[in-house]
């Protein structure tokens, strides 16, 4: 792509709007927008497939700002590209109930692909997005029709790459050859406490090479030409994910350039004016957008609309040429759940069994009817019973990476078209808590299967016995926690998990539990309400016994003794 002075004007428009937003709020992070604006602009102006008229268009490219503290930059771009953010919205940055909150929030602001801020999470989400693209392309594309064909771009900072979840996720991405994942690393050598040399001296290039990534370097993070060339090379590499290490300057052009103070402290009014003067900015007025820049942003957005129209023509021809595949695509994208899927006859479960085993049967019952159902475990498939017996290719192997697994599942759920799940022992939900919490904040339909849910797990002892975990999960607002008492309740817990568009956890037993087939109808209705009465007297009882999961059978035994 050839860049001209208007492109530089566009970059500086993003920069100045961002520092004006932070300045007006007297709160925020001016350092990243000033330093990383050329990276973001290069992606959006020359490579990103997007259209503001349809922010959720399925085959758009995804852009993730993992370094979510730089949200002012993203909001500036969403305003300039016409995503519906007004200038008044920018002026309400970081204010209660505004469309421009302190960190990007999925479902709140059009154009925000995932909630970011907790560092490393956006990077791991991007791995899930790229994995979903790859899985759906394998299922739906043909040599003639590339129905699923988009890239995932993620902008990260030093802090993102220090987080353990990023190590787990980048290892997974390299192993799975996610060639359409492109990471732009805003490498400015500064964190809140000072130089990254205080705590982060590893060779990032060697680390990613060791994880089977393509590593590209941009020496001048202000050079649109250098950045554009690196992105083009990244797009040509189809077998490896790519990371572009760009040497940037935090707080570029400000009096606090390369100073840790510019990370999270607003620039003073005189510092904002000095920054604009160094940038050669044509106006001292806050929130000024030159007409040439606004016109250029509009042109680029219009080009994306052409991409969208071409895709819908392809979709129409796809449906006419191969109707069966088109029906499959519609079922996946529409998340179609057959009405009678969860109504097998009473012989489906015919003996006492652990609810983890019942869950395995249900997964394989659903598999044929739900083509988007995809998942696996953190190296525990034999224990969590999460294998697809007839279609092993649908079984994901997350490796021993619980934290990344949670965030990757969230990314897959955000992508659309799949019903993703990840599984491990309940005690290891601790390793996934940030991802669980973000799933709840975003209301994404991620499913988390947690087995070995009590001290009945066996001989592993207290390190593996989940005592406080159910209570801690139920403390997370918006997270549906289901702990079925028998195989039938497991069936209906899975039904709730795939029908309700919200994150759900299934806590399942290792030990065998009796069947309550005689109460099957009560259980089916009770799961919908969250609690139900299995047995009770006609008069007001002197004592009520309340239990969940494997303790329900114990409560029955206790009731018999008390009676």
Count of all residues that appear for the chain in the document: 563
CB atoms closer than 10 angstroms to residue 497: 23
* Helix, strand, coil % in the chain, rounded to nearest 5: 50, 10, 40
Closest alpha carbon to 410 in 504, 481, 496, 506: 504
The pair of structure tokens assigned to 403 is 């934290």
> Are residues 449 and 423 in contact, defined by beta-carbon separation less than 8 angstroms?
yes
Active-site entry in 226, 265, 271, 402: 402
> Are residues 383 and 452 in contact, defined by beta-carbon separation less than 8 angstroms?
yes
Contacting residues for 406 by C-beta, under 8 A, at least 6 apart: 422, 432, 434, 435, 436, 439, 446, 448
Strands 395-397 and 419-425 turn out to be: unpaired
Q: Where are the alpha helices (DSSP H) in 237-354?
A: 261-264, 269-278, 291-321, 323-334
Give the span between the Cα atoms of 288 and 286, in whole angstroms.
Answer: 6
Does the annotation count 270 as an active-site position? no
Give the span between the Cα atoms of 197 and 229, in whole angstroms.
Answer: 29
Q: Where do we find the tokens 């920018």?
A: 90
Computed over its alpha carbons, how large is the radius of gyration of the chain? 26
- H or E, element range at 390: none
Closest alpha carbon to 276 in 465, 59, 15: 15
Report how far Cα 216 is from the mean position of its chain's Cα atoms. Answer: 25
3-state secondary structure labels for all residues of 100-119 = CCCCCCCCCCCCCCCCCCCC
Closest alpha carbon to 299 in 68, 45, 488: 45
Count Cβ atoms within 10 A of the Cβ of residue 535 and give its class: 0-12 exposed, 13-18 middle, 19 or more buried: exposed
Residues annotated as part of the active site: 402
């Amino acid at each position: 792509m050839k860049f001209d002075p208007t492109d530089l004007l566009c970059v500086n428009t993003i920069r100045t709007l961002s520092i004006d937003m932070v300045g007006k709020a007297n709160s925020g992070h001016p350092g990243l927008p000033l330093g990383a604006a050329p990276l973001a602009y290069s992606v959006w102006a020359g490579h990103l497939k997007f259209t503001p008229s349809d922010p959720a268009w399925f085959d758009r490219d995804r852009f993730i700002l993992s370094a979510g503290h730089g949200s002012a930059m993203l909001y500036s771009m969403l305003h300039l590209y016409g995503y519906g953010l007004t200038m008044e919205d920018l002026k309400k940055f970081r204010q209660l109930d505004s469309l421009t909150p302190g960190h990007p929030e999925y479902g709140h602001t059009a154009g925000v692909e995932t909630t970011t801020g907790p560092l490393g999470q956006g990077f791991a989400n991007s791995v899930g997005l790229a994995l979903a693209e790859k899985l759906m392309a394998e299922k739906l594309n043909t040599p003639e029709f590339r129905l699923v064909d988009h890239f995932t771009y993620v902008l990260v900072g030093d802090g993102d790459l220090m987080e353990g979840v990023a190590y787990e996720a980048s290892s997974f991405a390299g192993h799975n050859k996610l060639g359409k994942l492109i990471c732009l690393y805003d490498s400015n050598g500064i964190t809140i406490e000072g130089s990254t040399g205080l705590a982060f001296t590893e060779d990032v290039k060697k680390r990613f090479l060791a994880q089977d990534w393509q590593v590209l370097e941009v020496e001048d993070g202000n050079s649109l030409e250098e950045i554009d060339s690196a992105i083009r090379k990244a797009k040509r590499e189809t077998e490896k994910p790519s990371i572009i290490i760009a040497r940037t300057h935090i707080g570029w052009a400000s009096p606090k350039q390369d100073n840790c103070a510019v990370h999270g402290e607003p620039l003073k009014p005189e510092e904002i004016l000095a920054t604009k003067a160094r940038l050669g900015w044509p106006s001292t007025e806050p929130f000024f957008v030159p007409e040439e820049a606004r016109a250029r942003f509009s042109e680029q957005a219009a080009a994306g609309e052409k991409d969208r129209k071409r895709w819908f023509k392809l979709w129409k021809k796809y449906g006419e040429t191969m109707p069966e595949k088109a029906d499959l695509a519609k079922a996946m994208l529409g998340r179609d759940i057959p009405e009678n899927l969860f109504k097998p006859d009473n012989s489906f479960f015919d003996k006492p069994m652990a609810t983890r085993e019942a869950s395995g049967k249900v997964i394989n019952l659903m598999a044929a009817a739900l083509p988007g159902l995809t998942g696996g475990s953190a190296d525990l498939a034999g224990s969590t019973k999460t294998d697809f017996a007839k279609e092993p290719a649908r079984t994901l192997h997350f490796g021993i990476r619980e934290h990344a697994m949670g965030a990757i599942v969230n990314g897959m759920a955000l992508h659309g078209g799949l019903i993703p799940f990840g599984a491990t022992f309940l005690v290891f939900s601790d390793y996934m808590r940030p991802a669980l919490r973000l799933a709840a904040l975003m209301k994404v339909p991620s499913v988390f299967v947690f087995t070995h849910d009590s001290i009945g797990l066996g001989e592993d002892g207290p390190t593996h016995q989940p005592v406080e975990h159910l209570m801690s999960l139920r403390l997370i607002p918006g997270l549906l926690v289901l702990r079925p008492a028998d195989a039938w309740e497991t069936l209906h817990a899975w039904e709730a998990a795939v029908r309700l568009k919200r994150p759900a956890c299934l806590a399942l037993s290792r030990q065998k539990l009796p069947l309550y087939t005689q109460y099957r109808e009560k259980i089916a209705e009770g799961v919908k309400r969250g609690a139900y009465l299995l047995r009770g007297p006609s008069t007001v009882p002197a004592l009520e016994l309340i239990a969940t999961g494997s303790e329900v059978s114990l409560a029955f035994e206790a009731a018999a003794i008390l009676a």
